Amino acid sequence: MAADRLTEEHPMTFNIIKRVVAVIFLLCMFLPLSRCEMDKLSSPSAPQTQGTDTRARDKTYSSDFTPIKIVEFTDISTWLFIFPFIWPLPLNLLQQRIRKNRVQWTLRLLELALIAYSLYLTYFWATLGTTLLGGYIALACIISYALIFFTENVALLRGKKKPLKDAS
């Protein structure tokens, strides 16, 4: 299979691609993923003045974002929303450092669970309302990460080899 040859010839290719995708996915944390479709403040039949409409529209769009100074990082619910974007990069770096085969496979099972968690939440957030560019980028990143993960593991299972290591 092509994945087997790619794994044998270029062992770092998957890791480099996963790392780049993880960085882009981390940056998606700062992009709006979707916008609520229920941001209509008044009915179309109600008369509006120009000044009132502008102020109402500004209030609606400013409520789409949460200022960083009011986010409580001590609250666990905050980390449930931040964690899906953060974990790929540190886990990838940790997998590079671990030498024991049993720990490597444990980390791969953990990675599978985290991919499912991130894929579910990213899809939910991106399709919650009108999907914005950040939502499309985030979905593309987590799907790419999942495909790379599955391709890498299929190649490992076919060859029954231990997980890939850095050449350095």
Q: Packing angle between helix 88-97 and helix 101-126, nearest 10 degrees?
A: 170
Domain boundaries, the chain: 2-30+74-159
**158 contact partners, CB below 8 Å, separation of at least 6:** 1, 4
Tens digit of each residue's pLDDT (9 = 90 or more) over 61-80: 445 556 566 667 778 877 88
Cβ-based neighbour number of residue 88 at 10 Å: 25
User: Is the dihedral angle over the CA atoms 153, 159, 162, 166 positive or is it negative?
Assistant: negative
Task: For tokens 């062992």, name the residue.
Answer: 11
Q: Would you state the structure tokens that stand for residue 139, as one six-digit string?
A: 């979905």
At 19-53, the pLDDT tens digits run 999 999 999 888 888 787 654 554 455 455 555 55
Closest Cα partner for 34 from 134, 103, 105? 134
Using 50, 70 and 90 to split pLDDT, how confident is the model at 142?
very high
> According to the model, what pLDDT value does residue 160 have?
64
Residues 149, 139: Cα–Cα separation, whole Å: 15
- Does an H or E element contain 67, and which? none
Taking 60 as the threshold, does the pLDDT of residue 105 lie above it? yes
